[in-house]
Amino acid sequence: MEQLEEQIAHLSRAVDDMSDLVARQQAEIDRLTRQVAMLMQREAEREAEATGGVVLGNERPPHY
């Protein structure tokens, strides 16, 4: 019985550690997603100023 309790304690600790890791990874993903959106917006604004037109961040270049 003691061995099972030890095993449960180790598994509980592993689950807690993984949960913390997933939470940190999600925070990083959220931060990076916001940064990419900001950079795409900046680039679209820069291209619009250079060409005088409206440019969408997900448009394919004309050579495709």
pTM, to two decimals: 0.64
**Alpha helical stretches, state H, 1-64:** 2-51
For the stretch 8-61, pLDDT in tens is 999 999 999 999 999 999 999 999 999 999 999 999 988 888 876 555 666 666
| Cα dist from 22 to 16, 19, 29, 32, whole Å | 10, 5, 10, 15
